[in-house]
Amino acid sequence: MTSRNISSGNWLTPPHHRLGLHRVEDVVPCTTIARGEAPARILMPASQPLDWDLLTVPGPQGRPTSAQEFLARTHTDGILVLRGDTILAERYFGEFTSASHHIVMSISKSFAGMLAGVLAGAGLLDLEATVPTYVPELAAGSYAGATVGQLLDMTAAPHYDMSYLEPTAEVHAGDRAAGWRPRRPEDVVGTRPFLAQLRGAGRHGADFQYCSGTTDVLAWVLERAGGAGYGELMRRHLWSWIGAEDDAFVTVDDHGTPYACAGMGMRLRDLARFGRLVLDDGWREGTPVVPADWIARTRRGGHFATTAESDSAAGGTYKNQWWIPGDDHGSFYGVGIFGQYLWLDPQSDVVIAKFSATDQPVADTPAHLDALGAIARAAALTRQEA
């Protein structure tokens, strides 16, 4: 299969997605998030790496399986295990390489959550303010009464169906508005016109409701609060600080609006570098990039249990666009459909970045989480570098 075989009509459909997820820039318009001029953060290979041949992880229904089988079963494109600045394991499969870009899907939401923390810490973002305070265009719609904090915690309650297997669900209409799928004659063109025409809502703040549109409303709010476009804010406050090897990208619609809920893409090592920044309490070479108290609040989790729907986790809570499973290592993570993961284990000081192209959009999330947790614990037992 070559890039000529993928299009806006099939790049999210198996088996074409095995190529489409790391050829996004050939299919959907994208804008660059520049890495800046700072030197790349050096990541060094371990003298005592993880031994995948001996590593066993929990599989579906908790049955033990080899780490190699786990990677094959989940159609892994690449995985990197990082402790400090030491690479304990790094594998790439098929034609995917360390220089390839891969869309991270809903891990994009976790980037938005950290960007919100930077703006809140600078006094530019009021979490108690309602959405129309920043975006009056939404004063008559589903998000009119929601606060910024409710957007961050997915406790806003718009009329929005996230059922991937339901063709008429809003999640698919949102994809079409963003240019991710071929549009129908009746479709709204553009993410923000789509969000502005949503009507009806439940009681904001009453429960957890995972919704991709909520993150795109958050991104709109962040632009107004930060006084710049979303890609520029991401570059200015996050991407240029992580020591990235390369630029990132975010997909954009016909109006140039980024699809903040799912559209970011990057190299695997750079995703791990972002995770390292967060696991280091937001510090980079003595400079506070993301407020440490924001990350601490994120790790403590939210008030409502999450539900096993969409690309969400089975169990745990949600805070600031991150998932918190409530395990004994204090782990937290970002996750995207088709098996994209950024797993952070504070107790083991381990970051795991994983790109995949699973057969189903939402694939055995509990088994994935159990396996990633087991890999992080095994990484913690490897001998520290001399």
Pairing of the two strands 317-319 and 64-66: unpaired
The C-alpha atoms of residue 212 and residue 205 are separated, in whole angstroms, by 17
Measuring CA to CA, which residue among 258, 237, 238, 240 is closest to residue 249?
Answer: 258
Q: State the chain's mean pLDDT as an integer.
A: 93
Kindly report, residue by residue over 44-101, the tens digit of the pLDDT: 999 989 999 899 999 887 789 999 999 999 999 999 999 999 999 999 999 999 999 9
Kindly report, residue by residue over 135-189, the tens digit of the pLDDT: 999 999 999 999 999 999 999 999 999 888 788 889 999 999 999 999 999 999 9
Instruction: Give pLDDT, residue 364.
Output: 60
pLDDT bin (cut points 50, 70, 90) of residue 239 is: very high
pLDDT bin (cut points 50, 70, 90) of residue 133 is: very high
Kindly report, residue by residue over 320-340, the tens digit of the pLDDT: 999 999 999 999 999 999 999
Kindly report, residue by residue over 212-223, the tens digit of the pLDDT: 999 999 999 999
Instruction: Give pLDDT, residue 276.
Output: 98
pLDDT at 307 > cutoff 90: no
Over the range 221-249, which residues count as b (16 or more CB within 10 Å of their CB) and which as e? Answer: bbbebbeebbbebbbbbbbbbbbbbebbb
The C-alpha atoms of residue 200 and residue 126 are separated, in whole angstroms, by 24
The predicted model gives 117-128 an average pLDDT of 98
The pTM (predicted TM-score) of the whole model is: 0.96
pLDDT at 311 > cutoff 60: no
Is residue 77 a contact partner of residue 94, using CB atoms and an 8 Å limit? yes
pLDDT bin (cut points 50, 70, 90) of residue 314 is: low
pLDDT at 125 > cutoff 80: yes
What are the DSSP E strand ranges found in the chain? 30-33, 44-45, 56-58, 64-66, 76-83, 86-92, 102-103, 248-251, 264-266, 283-284, 287-288, 317-319, 322-324, 332-336, 340-345, 350-356
The predicted model gives 339-361 an average pLDDT of 95
Calculate the CA dihedral of residues 261, 41, 276, 82 and round it to 10 degrees: 110
pLDDT at 383 > cutoff 70: no
- Per domain, the residue ranges of the chain are 28-58+65-381
* Known catalytic residue at 348: no
What are the DSSP E strand ranges found in 150-253? 248-251
The C-alpha atoms of residue 141 and residue 24 are separated, in whole angstroms, by 31
Look at the block and give the residue holding tokens 């479709």.
Answer: 187
Q: Provide CATH code, domain 28-58+65-381.
A: 3.40.710.10
pLDDT bin (cut points 50, 70, 90) of residue 310 is: very low
pLDDT at 386 > cutoff 50: no
pLDDT bin (cut points 50, 70, 90) of residue 385 is: very low
The predicted model gives 3-25 an average pLDDT of 91
* Catalytically annotated residue among 100, 106, 110, 212: 106
Instruction: Give pLDDT, residue 365.
Output: 78
